[in-house]
Amino acid sequence: MQPAELVHENLLRLAVEDPREARKVFLRIFDSDGSALERFLGQISSPADGRLRHLVASALRNDRDKERLAPYLIAWHEIETDEFAKRAIAAALDGVRIESVAQTTLAQEVARLTTAIGREMAQRERLNRELEIAREVQEHLFPQRLPPVLGLDYCGQCRPAREVGGDYYDFLALPDGRLGIAIGDVSGKGVGAALMMASLEASLRALASVVDDPAELMGRVNSLVLQASSADRYATLFYAQYDPRSRLLSYVNAGHNPPVVLRNRGPAGSPAELWRLVPGITPGDWRSGHRASAASL
Q: What would the mean pLDDT of 155-170 be, rounded to a whole number? A: 75
Name the residue with higher pLDDT: 65 or 119.
Answer: 65
Sorted by where each begins, the domain ranges of the chain are 4-135, 142-293
Highest mean pLDDT among 43-52, 98-107, 189-198, 235-244: 235-244
DSSP 47: G
What's the pLDDT score for residue 104?
A: 58
- Report pLDDT digits (tens) over 103-161: 555 666 666 666 667 667 777 777 777 777 777 777 777 888 888 898 888 888 877 66
DSSP 178: -
Amino acid at 86: K
Share above pLDDT 90 across residues of the chain, in percent, rounded to a whole number:
9
Helices (H), the chain: 4-17, 19-32, 35-43, 50-59, 63-68, 70-79, 83-93, 101-141, 190-208, 214-228
In DSSP terms, 236 is beta-bridged to 185
Find the Cα–Cα–Cα–Cα dihedral 2, 8, 10, 14, rounded to 10°: 140
pLDDT at 287 over 50: no
pLDDT value of residue 111: 64
Task: Say how far residue 274 (Cα) sits from the centre of its chain.
Answer: 33
Question: What was the pLDDT predicted at 289?
Answer: 47
Tell which CATH architecture fits domain 142-293: 4-Layer Sandwich (3.60)
What pLDDT does 101 receive? 42
pLDDT at residue 171 tops 90: yes
Under DSSP, is residue 100 helix (H, G, I), strand (E, B) or coil? coil
Q: Is 284:291 a contact under the CB 8 Å cutoff?
A: no
